[in-house]
Amino acid sequence: MIDHSLVVLNSLSGKKEPFRSIKPGYVGMYVCGPTVYSNVHLGNCRTFISFDLIYRYLNHLGYKVRYVRNITDAGHLENDEDTGEDRIAKKARIEKIEPMEVVQYFTVDFHQILKKFNNLPPGIEPTATGHIIEQIELIKKILKEGLAYQVNGSVYFDVLKFNETYQYGKLSGRKIEELIHNTRKLDGQSDKKNPQDFALWKKAEPQHIMRWPSPWGDGFPGWHLECTAMSTKYLGESFDIHGGGMDLKFPHHECEIAQAEAINKKPPVKYWLHANMLTLNGKKMAKSTGNNILPMDIFTGKNDKFSKPYSPQVVRFFMLQAHYTSVLDISQDALDASEKGYQRLMEAVNKLAKHQSGELKGEFDTDKWLKNCYAAMDDDFNSPLLIAHLFEAVKFINLIIHEDHPINYNQWKILNKMLPVFIHEVLGIGVEKESSSLAKEKLKQTVGLLIDLRNKARINKDFETSDQIRNQLKEYGIHLKDGKEGTNFTFD
Ligand code: AMP
Ligand code: ZN
């Protein structure tokens, strides 16, 4: 284990706290996964990339991390107030397919997208439907504690009763009086005693196809319950890290705390970490508003938001250039800057690997640099600061290469080893393959040069050369088209 003074921003205290895992050397981390009723948008991906960074760094420090990230495949209704259709059942109804087909399709899509972003898979990826028995057991326990009530085949968590002994709202900083004041009065249609109460089990109406038998009749679990069931099953009654996007703090995570405390009478989580939102045009990316972009649309360039494609590694790099707790707005300018930065970083690493080492010492304190890099990551996983330090090294590398200085062997050894470690292992930024935008850009420049040479040949009436260029390029699948504006080209 590398001995480090890692501090993390704990949403529960609102403060940065030294990270001490419950069991030395081991970390239990649970992150709320996607509800698989639609393609993940880029905003969702940001949250999963943020936790991938955290997972990678903890692994890098030598912790044995058990990372659990669930798949929500039942119980997530359209509205937070426990009303509306199940999101998956609704999609199945609209598409006239089985709910399991919806779940399968979007789970596969989710995995494929995260793989493109170079995310590591979690160690356990449990599903809500695979843990119905566990959820029913939890409800029985909460009922036994007198902190839930049964009405017409549904079971609700009694928030006011819970709040008499515990504190509801401590994660999101809400006071129960404010909650009572701010929530809409019940309209007489609801079975709930109070509007703050939330469903643990909902009775399934006859048309509701996603249903399971229970002691309270056929129904389905409330959304918040699955995460309590799965996190405590795999990580224990108290575990180290619980993560998710900021928007899940309330009510989802608040309800998770209440459920777990009602059963185990102690806080379930030591450090609550929340990733901030990705915005587009200054507004939160969200499925419901249409203000979002799908990862594949950005990779292929087929979208009406940006004029060119960006590779998964460039988009990942762009995201890591902001701290995970800051809001990040996506724009063409920002992506262009990240693309350039990514290329500069990769080029420097490649050049350094090939550079001769010798005796001359350059003006660069490698030990201090290394300390700074770790200090950045130890300060609540500050990836933008780490990247700034990586660019200090890039500047130095470019300088010595430009001036053809040899580099001191020890400096070379540290940089040549640690730059790739930080870039690939810690930040998880991969190397683009052939189809990378860098390769494409270079190809464009090369073809442009050949077009210039062909034009010169034509001016000089050297048609043999100009035809040779055209025909040879055609053989490579590059077609020149002469027009009024000059010569353009297309690829096969
Ligand atoms: P969902 O499938 O809606 O439950 O969302 C999956 C994850 O994506 C949750 O952790 C959300 O908090 C997160 N999320 C949703 N929208 C955004 C966004 N615009 N930026 C960052 N994370 C988001
Ligand atoms: Zn959750």
Indicate whether 216 and 298 sit together in one domain. no
CA dist 195 and 159 (Å) reads 9
202 found inside a domain: yes
Whether 257 and 317 map to the same domain: the answer is: no
Give the number of the ligand closest to the Cα of residue 326.
Answer: 1
Which pLDDT does position 433 carry in this prediction?
72
CB 280 within 8 A of CB 305: yes
CB-side exposure of 25: number of CA atoms within 13 Å? Answer: 1
- In terms of phi and psi (left: phi > 0; alpha: psi -120 to 50; beta: otherwise), the region of 486 is left
Poorest-pLDDT segment among 30-34, 351-355, 477-481: 351-355
Which 3 state secondary structure label does DSSP give 482? strand
Confidence of residue 24 (pLDDT cuts 50, 70, 90): very high
User: Would 83 be classed as within a structural domain?
Assistant: yes
Q: What is the CATH number of the domain that holds 36?
A: 3.40.50.620
pLDDT at site 261: 98
Is position 6 within any domain?
no
Percentage of the chain exceeding pLDDT 90: 76
Q: Is residue 121 part of a domain?
A: yes
pTM over 0.75: yes
Extended beta strands in 336-440, E state = 357-358, 407-408
Helix (H, G, I), strand (E, B) or coil at 430: coil
Q: Distance of CA 31 to CAs 81, 236, 240, Å?
A: 22, 15, 11
Residues 111 and 173 in one domain: yes
Using an 8 Å Cβ cutoff, are 475 and 349 in contact? no
Query: Which of 245, 275, 305 is the last residue in one of the domains?
Result: 275
Q: Given this model, what pLDDT does residue 392 score?
A: 97
Tell me the average pLDDT across 24-32.
98
Closest residue by Cα to atom 6, ligand 1, is 34
Please answer whether residues 391 and 341 qualify as being in contact, where contact means their C-beta atoms are separated by less than 8 angstroms: yes
Cβ-proximal residues to 68 (8 Å cutoff; 6+ apart), any chain: 28, 29, 30, 31, 122, 123, 124, 125, 126, 230, 231, 234, 235
Q: Helix (H, G, I), strand (E, B), or coil: what is residue 386? A: helix
Pocket test for ligand 1, best of 29, 242, 247 (most atoms within 8 A of CB): 247
485 or 192, which is more confident: 192
Query: Which of 78-87, 399-408, 471-480 has the highest mean predicted lDDT (pLDDT)?
Result: 471-480
Q: How far apart, in whole angstroms, are the C-alpha atoms of residue 426 and residue 420?
A: 9
Of the two residues 271 and 489, the one the predictor is more confident about is 271
- Ligand nearest the Cα atom of residue 76: 1
* Domain match, 304 and 228 both: no
Q: Is there a single domain that holds both residue 194 and residue 326? A: no
Residue with CA at minimum distance from ligand 1 atom 9: 245
Q: Calculate the alpha carbon distances from 452 to 284, 440, 492 in Å.
A: 46, 18, 21
- DSSP state, residue 37: T
Q: Is the pLDDT of residue 442 over 80?
A: no
326 within 8 A of 275, measured Cβ to Cβ: no
More confident residue, 407 or 50: 50
313 and 258 belong to one structural domain: no
CA 244 – CA 256 distance, rounded (Å): 12
Q: Is the CB–ligand 1 distance for residue 247 below 6 Å?
A: yes
- Total domains present in the chain: 3
**Ligand 1 in reach of 248 Cβ (< 6 A):** yes
- Residue 374's pLDDT is 98
Cβ atoms 427, 373 nearer than 8 A: no
Average of per-residue pLDDT across 202-215: 92
On whether both 65 and 163 belong to a single domain, the answer is: yes
Q: Looking at ligand 1, which atom is closest to the CA of residue 34? A: 2
Instruction: State the residue for tokens 């540290």.
Output: 414
447 Cβ closer than 6 Å to some ligand 1 atom: no
Mean pLDDT is lowest, of 61-65, 163-167, 197-201, 401-405, for: 401-405
CA distances from 75 to 36, 78, 80, 86, 120 (A): 11, 10, 11, 6, 27
What residue has token string 């709040």? 163
Provide, rounded to the nearest whole percent, the portion of the chain with pLDDT above 70.
95
The reply to whether 11 falls in a domain is: no
Asked, for residue 286, whether it belongs to a domain, the answer is yes
Whether 59 and 426 have beta carbons less than 8 Å apart is answered as: no
Same domain as 37, residue 101 = yes
Q: Ligand 1, atom 12: nearest CA belongs to which residue?
A: 245
Give the CA distances from residue 108 to residues 94, 226, 244, 413, 492, in Å, rounded to whole numbers and listed in that order. Answer: 20, 21, 20, 41, 30
218, pLDDT greater than 60? yes
Domain match, 268 and 409 both: no
**Do residue 443 and residue 321 come from a single domain?**
no
Question: From the CA of 243, how far away is ligand 2's center (Å)?
Answer: 9
Cα–ligand 2 centroid distance for 29 (angstroms)? 12
How many Å apart are CA 284 and CA 279, to the nearest integer?
Answer: 4
pLDDT tens per residue across span 329-382: 999 999 999 999 999 999 999 988 887 666 545 678 999 999 999 999 999 999
| Protein residues within 5 Å, CB atom, of ion ligand 2 | 32, 227
Q: What is the mean pLDDT of residues 389-418?
A: 87
Q: Is 47 in the pocket of ligand 1 (CB under 6 A)?
A: yes
Indicate the residue among 369, 401, 426 that finishes a domain: 426
Ligand nearest to the CA of 268: 2
Q: What is the pLDDT of residues 169-203, one digit of tens each?
A: 999 999 888 888 777 666 666 789 999 999 999 99
Ligand 2 geometric centre to CA of 209 (Å): 23
Residues 6+ apart with CB under 8 A from 130: none
> From the CA of 92, how far away is ligand 1's center (Å)?
22
Q: Across the chain, what does the average pLDDT equal?
A: 92
Residue 53 lies in a domain: yes
Question: Which ligand 1 atom is nearest residue 244's CA?
Answer: 10
Residue-wise DSSP of 113-143: HHHHTTPPPPSB--BSGGGHHHHHHHHHHHH
Atom of ligand 1 nearest to the CA of 44: 8
Domain boundaries, position 156: 22-275
Over the stretch 47-79, which tens digit does the pLDDT of each residue have?
999 999 999 999 999 999 999 999 999 878 888
* pLDDT tens, position by position, 224-274: 999 999 999 999 999 999 999 999 999 999 999 999 999 999 999 999 999
229 versus 83: the higher-pLDDT residue is 229
* Whether residue 395 sits in one domain with residue 324: yes
Q: Residue 15: inside a domain, yes or no?
A: no
- My answer on whether 284 and 398 are in the same domain is yes
Domain boundary among 217, 251, 275: 275
Residue type for position 72: T
CB of 328 shorter than 6 A to ligand 1: no
Query: Could you tell me the CA-to-CA distances from 24 to 31, 204, 240, 330, 379 in Å, in that order?
Result: 21, 45, 11, 39, 20
